[in-house]
Amino acid sequence: MVHAMQHSLNGSTLKPGEVQLEVQDVKLRFGGVTALAGVSLTVKQSEIIAIIGPNGAGKTSLLNCISGLYRPQEGRITFHNRGEAYELTQLPPHQIAKVGVARSFQNIELFKHMTVLENLLAGCHVHMKTNIFQAALYWGKAQREEIAYRKFVEEIIDLLEIESIRKKTVGTLSYGLQKRVELGRALAMQPAILLLDEPMAGMNTEEKEDMARFILDVNEEHGVTIVLIEHDMGVVMDISDHVVVLDFGRKIGDGTPDEVRKNPRVIEAYLGEEAGSFSLF
Amino acid sequence: MESGIFHSSYEKDMALRHTPIEKARLALVILFLLVFPFVADNYWLNLANTIGVVAIGAIGLNILTGFTGQISLGQGAFLAVGAYTAALMSIHMGAPMWLTIPAGAITTAIIGAIFGIPSLRLKGLYLAIATLAAQEIIIWVITHWDAVTGGVDALNTKNYLWFGDDHHFFTEFQFYWIILALAALVTIASVNIFRTRIGRAFIAIRDQDIAAEVMGINLFKYKMLAFATSSFFVGLAGALIAHWRQIVTWERFTIEVSIFYLAVIIIGGLGSVSGSIYGAIFMVMLPAMLNNLGRALSGVVPGMDAIIPFIQQAVFGVVIILFLIFEPEGINKMWKNIRDYFRLWPFSY
């Protein structure tokens, strides 16, 4: 039986449709290589935005800039939450997590010796308050906090239908389940915005359908904004409200799935010149 | 044999022990530890005390190296910081043991955190070399800062109960209780730490530091915390050694000690509190048992006494190699496998 969650997964204070994330003219270079050559985009609260583009277009680089792993040389990334505008290019990654940005990785980066439960609880880190002395005693407050967050994490486990593996060590799980756990760990952060780097890569159709359903659940039931990198165009066109196309570090398309589909520059980037007669999507 | 574990609350599910058998096993261990000193002679008490002190130090090292993934070759020097702090406080200030032992632990925690700063930039072998530098620097300071540490001369620790007290000579029996109590506290505290967000942050840093950072774990803060927590326990072991052995000399805290402790946690089980204890038991008992064996054989095989030390070294090496090959996860994993076998027996599917 599906029952409503007691906790919200959404850590944003904005109303749907308000501007949440503004990326302005971000330029990122590694030595002589330009990864991002002035990318701008706007993400509104509670939408699903897909970033697509050929390999090496700079999609993951852009996500890394947003989550603070890369520092762009130029440009601004402004994030709105709790009545404040945070300049993400100035914050270290752990602070960015604290203000409400969660993400998953292209190559699963779970804590592989921990159980599923522990991975999800690790996602709750920023919300928990136990210090080392309380931890050593594990009495009263520390224990109550652990139990309270266990309840919260169990709701995510129910949502993602991973009850049967909650005590399994993550390293022993199949690829598809690990991807699901990684989504769970990001959700455990109660994010205001969720950055998903190829959440469906390497999955079969059924697993992709499940994952798409979870992403839609999180977005529709909880209103969490989702930024998604994905190569499966079927999925992208079906679930996203808004698609941004990158190629060689530049934005070549931005709009609804239909607009992007008809954009000649996008078709050119994907299929080369004179490809007008092919139907891409 | 049980058919399953059926919990009705998260609190029960999160308890450390679930079945009556597990609880009975713990009760047996406690009973043994309480009865043991009354039946053991001084030789066995000395061995038990050695195990206790090594276990405390090994738990400390395991928190840093096994759980947080920061390799440390500075264990010997950190033990020395705890031991010298306690010894010097008792000699120069007449400070009682209940003050010198915690002070030794806290001083070591601070020194350990300072030497942990390079860990923000260095990983793996590079960090090992940096902690090797810590080992050498600390021992160099101890042997050269004559005015404070007495240089290469040994210090005679005083065991006071109060300020202005006379020196007490504690027997092995009396020290057994002090060491046991502290070892129990350290074990409980460490196990508890790894039930909470702090311990999860440590393990997260070991398993996947970039993901940990993106999850909101401040790498610098938690690496420093791991160094401090680890060094606190190591310093505690050092201070205990100072009072128990009553002689503190730098020669007991060399790089060989650091390597011995690494062997303890590798054989016991990296990333396991109980593994640290199993490792301590194994690594203290093995040479002692080899000694006894040699002495027993010396009547039969002439000249055995002379070659025992060499055999000891060789067996040590062989044992470590065998563990790395056959059970890299250590005694803790072996014990787990045995438990699982009997828990599921005779239907192991």
CB-based contact A158:B21 (threshold 8 Å): no
Strand A242-247 versus strand B155-156 pairing type: unpaired
- Secondary structure element (H or E) that encloses residue A247, with its range: strand A242-247
Contact residues, chain A, for B10 at CB < 8 Å? 147, 150-151, 154
CA distance B272 to B203: 11
Binary contact (B216, A189; C-beta < 8 A):
yes
Model confidence at B261, pLDDT cuts 50, 70, 90, reads very high
Over residues B108-127, the mean pLDDT reads 93
pLDDT level of residue B2 (50, 70, 90 thresholds): low
Contacts of A85 (CB under 8 A, 6+ apart): A78, A79
- Within 8 A of B204 by CB-CB distance, chain A residues are 111, 114, 122, 125
Q: Which residues from chain A sit within 8 angstroms of residue B206, using beta carbons?
A: 113
CATH topology (fold) of B39-344: ABC transporter involved in vitamin B12 uptake, BtuC (1.10.3470)
B84: distance to nearest CA of chain A, Å?
26
Q: A128 in helix, strand or coil?
A: coil
Out of B197, B210, B225, whose CB is closest to A125? B197
Residue-wise pLDDT tens digits, B130-178:
999 999 999 999 999 998 898 889 999 999 999 988 888 899 999 999 9
Torsion angles phi and psi, residue B146, rounded to 5: -50, -40
Write out the H or E segment, with its range, that includes residue B304: helix B304-326
* CA atoms of B164 and B344, how far apart (whole Å): 60
Which residue in chain A has the smallest CA separation from B229?
A: A132
Task: Please report residues of B whose CB lies closer than 8 A to that of A97.
Answer: 213-216
Question: Rounded to whole angstroms, how far apart are CA atoms B144 and B251?
Answer: 13
pLDDT of residue B185: 97
Cβ contacts of A152 on chain B, cutoff 8 Å: none
Between A98, A136, A143, which is nearest B216 by CB?
A: A98
Q: Which of B106, B185, B215 to mutate to test the interface with A (most CBs of A within 10 A)?
A: B215
Question: How large is the average pLDDT for residues B35-52?
Answer: 96
Among chain B residues, the shortest Cα distance to A108 is held by: B211
Question: Does residue A108 sit at the B interface (CB-CB below 8 Å)?
Answer: no
Rounded Cα distance between B94 and B49, Å, is: 25
Considering only CB atoms, which chain A residues are within 8 Å of B215?
97, 122-123, 125-126, 185, 189
Q: What is the pLDDT of residue A1?
A: 39
Residue B164, both tokens:
């202005």
Option in A121, A126, A135 nearest B216 (CB): A126
Considering only CB atoms, which chain B residues are within 8 Å of A68? 214
Look at the block and give the residue holding tokens 């921990």: A114
Which among A45, A39, A27 is positioned nearest to A241, based on CA atoms? A45
Residue A115 and residue A169 in contact, taking contact as beta carbons nearer than 8 Å: yes
All residues of chain A having their beta carbon less than 8 Å from the beta carbon of residue B190 are: 136
pLDDT tens column, B293-344 = 877 877 777 777 777 778 877 887 888 888 889 888 899 999 988 888 887 7
Residue in chain A nearest B225 by alpha carbon: A132
Which contacts of B152-155 are long-range, i.e. CB under 8 A and separated by 24 or more positions? B152/B249, B152/B250, B153/B249, B154/B247, B154/B248, B154/B249, B155/B84, B155/B87, B155/B88, B155/B91, B155/B242, B155/B247, B155/B248, B155/B249
Residue A255: exposure state from Cβ atoms within 10 A (0-12, 13-18, ≥19):
middle
User: Which residues in chain A have their CB less than 8 angstroms from residue B201's CB?
Assistant: 122, 125
Q: Is B196 on the interface with A (CB under 8 A)?
A: yes
| Residues forming a β-bridge with A37 | A27
Containing A229, the helix (H) or strand (E) segment is: strand A225-229
Q: Are A96 and A68 in contact (CB under 8 A)?
A: yes
A189–chain B nearest CA distance, Å: 7
Helices and strands, number each (H, E), in chain A: 10, 10
Nearest CA in chain A to B219: A94
* pLDDT value of position A274: 53
Q: Is A216 on the interface with B (CB under 8 A)?
A: no
Interface ipTM: 0.92
Q: How far is A32 from chain B (nearest CA, A)?
A: 25
CB contact under 8 A, A146 and B207: no
pLDDT of residue B3: 67
- B58-84 confidence digits (pLDDT tens): 999 999 999 999 999 999 999 999 999
pLDDT of the residue at B134: 94
The residue with tokens 């652990």 is: A146
Q: Inter-chain contact A147–B207, Cβ cutoff 8 Å?
A: no
In this prediction, residue B349 has a pLDDT band, given cuts at 50, 70 and 90, of low
Q: Classify A272 in phi/psi space as left (phi over 0), alpha (psi -120 to 50) or beta.
A: left
CA–CA distances in Å: residue A274 to residues A52, A257, A266, B189, B333 = 21, 22, 12, 69, 62
In A123-162, the residues whose Cβ lies within 8 Å of chain B are 123-126, 128, 130-132, 134-138, 142-143, 145-147, 150-151, 154
Question: What average pLDDT score do residues B241-262 get?
Answer: 95
Q: Which of residues 158-187 of A touch B (CB under 8 A)?
A: 185
At A197 the three-state DSSP class reads strand
CA B211 to chain A, closest CA, distance in angstroms equals 6
3-state DSSP call for residue B154? coil
Residue at token pair 């503004």: A22
281 residues of chain A, pLDDT tens digit each: 345 677 788 999 999 999 999 999 999 999 889 999 999 999 999 999 999 998 889 999 999 999 999 999 999 999 999 999 999 999 999 999 999 999 999 999 999 999 999 999 999 999 999 999 999 999 889 999 999 999 999 999 999 999 999 999 999 999 999 999 999 999 999 999 999 999 998 899 999 999 999 999 999 999 999 999 999 988 999 999 999 999 999 999 999 999 998 888 888 887 765 544 445 55
Query: Quick check: A233 and A281 in contact, CB under 8 A?
Result: yes
Max Cα distance, chain A (Å): 70
**What is the predicted pLDDT for the residue at B302?**
74
In order of their start, the domains of chain A are: 14-100+191-281 (3.40.50.300), 109-190 (no CATH)
Establish whether the linkage from the previous residue to B20 is cis, with ω within 30° of 0.
no
The 3-state DSSP class for residue B176 equals helix
Q: Which among A10, A75, A68, A78 is positioned nearest to A43, based on CA atoms?
A: A78
DSSP assignment string, B91-123: HHS---HHHHHHHHHHHHHHHHHHHHGGGGT--
Residues B174-213: b if buried by 16+ CB within 10 A, e if exposed: ebbebbbebbeebbebbbbbbbbbbbbbbbbbbbbbebbb
| Helix B42-61 × helix B75-92 angle, to 10° | 120
Q: Cβ contact (<8 Å) for B196 and A69?
A: no
| Chain A contact present for B5, CB below 8 A | no
Q: Is B35 exposed, middle or buried (0-12, 13-18, 19+ CB in 10 A)?
A: exposed
H/E/C letters for each residue in B200-240?
HHHHHHHHCHHHHHHCCCCHHHHHHHHHHHHHHHHHHHHHH
CB of A250 within 8 A of CB of A220? no
Nearest to A138 among B10, B195, B271 (CB): B195
Please give the order of strands across the beta sheet that includes A84-87.
A33-44, A19-30, A74-81, A84-87
CB B215 within 8 A of CB A97: yes
pLDDT over threshold 90, residue B4 = no
pLDDT in tens, B102-111: 999 999 999 9
**Where are chain B's structural domains?**
39-344
